[in-house]
Amino acid sequence: MRFNVVHFLSTLGLSAVVGASPLGAQTKSAAWEAGMVLDTAATSQALALGARDAGLGLGHSDVLVRGTVGALFSAEAIVGFHTADRKLEHHLENAWLQTRALPQGFQARLGRFASQVGYLNELHTHTDDFTERPLLYRGFFGGHWLGDGLRMNWTAPTPFYLRLGAEKFSSSSTLNLKVGNDWGPSHSWQWGVSQITNGKDTEVVDHDAAEGHHSHAAQYIGRRVWLTDFVWKWAPNGNNRNEQVRLVWEHAQVSRLHPNADAGMKNQSSSLGAVWRFRPAWEVGARSDWLRANQAESSGGSVLFASGRLQENALMLAYKPSHQQTWRLQWTQQRALGANDEGEPIFASPAKRSFQLQYVIGLGAHGAHSY
């Protein structure tokens, strides 16, 4: 059934493009918009668990259509594409229908969409502050996690932001909580906690075997995942045009890794990043990540586990001449520890140092980005 829903919604979106004006245009007769984002980069050395090849390549780019369906629903369809192993890959990223006017603060979404667990997962990757997502997302979700399913959210009628959400996908479900508020005229914050429950025992698999994952980097998964995230933003009197500081911390823990694994065996990852906009068009940032993971291997009819740790540090400088364009220069360093019984490293080919020059440009409309 889920494939019929996705096909219907994507057909609806593509039909809107055919009948719409040029990119980003709206008319009174058809309140639909279209847009495109291109993410290009040159990388000196590919990163372990990274999504970008060495050399020139296309990052997470997409074509989008969105609009209203009558007075009660909104819809969106996104086709994403990128290069991997020197080949162009594409996928249907979003194709959903969402309510606009449910009572008592409720909202429902049906179709294909990115899960709202964590902080970055639901955001478009081309809006990220760094050229690659944190190790947490690359190792546990293959960059980002999406699937076909149903979402129900409730936003409480409180003076501060409080949202409870639940999602049901074909072989997994999620629960999440978001709380946020302003602190004086210059500060704001948001905290979240999420849980993912997979419906069956999972092993270390590639993206073709993991429902909801389409990136080659999704390797360290399990039946239960806990995530927590905290975001703090500062801008003088709330005006972030000229100056802003953004601090993002996320942590995840994966348990029940394998039917033969000890109950206490876990995969864990944390990320802490800070970005300072010191001029209207200029930003500088730093991020530090670590990931501890266990790798399952078959040996003589039994399953053995080897553990390893990957550390990653990044510095970046970004120039944004307009809202639709970003130039970013980034330096990234990785350090890996751990090997299996045969002496092979758990994390293959970590980059001692890698430089990335990224250019992102958007054309036409694009979805609004949350906090």
Mean pLDDT over the full length of the chain: 85
Dihedral angle of Cα 198, 201, 204, 206, to the nearest 10 degrees = -60
The answer to the question of residue 149 being in a domain is yes
The answer to the question of residue 42 being in a domain is no
* Residue 183, pLDDT above cutoff 50: yes
> Which CATH number fits the domain that encloses residue 146?
2.40.160.10
Q: What's residue 296's pLDDT? A: 72
Q: 186 and 235 in contact (C-beta within 8 Å)?
A: yes
The answer to the question of residue 343 being in a domain is yes
pLDDT band at 269 (very low <50, low <70, confident <90, very high): very high
Q: 45-54, 177-186, 243-252, 296-305: which range is least confident on average? A: 296-305
The answer to the question of residue 195 being in a domain is yes
The answer to the question of residue 142 being in a domain is yes
114-171 per-position pLDDT tens digit? 999 999 999 988 899 999 999 999 999 988 899 999 999 999 999 999 999 999 998 8
Number of domains making up the chain: 1
Cβ partners under 8 Å of residue 232, min gap 6: 187, 188, 189, 246, 247
Q: 136-140, 224-228, 364-368: which range is least confident on average? A: 364-368
The answer to the question of residue 257 being in a domain is yes
Q: What are phi and psi of 102, to 5 degrees?
A: -70, 145
Average pLDDT over every residue of 237-259? 92
CA distance 7 to 5: 5
By residue range, what is the domain housing residue 139?
A: 103-364
| Entry pTM | 0.85
The answer to the question of residue 136 being in a domain is yes
The answer to the question of residue 28 being in a domain is no
Q: What's residue 184's pLDDT? A: 93
Q: What's residue 218's pLDDT? A: 60
Q: 74-83, 229-238, 301-310, 333-342: which range is least confident on average? A: 301-310
Q: What's residue 213's pLDDT? A: 34
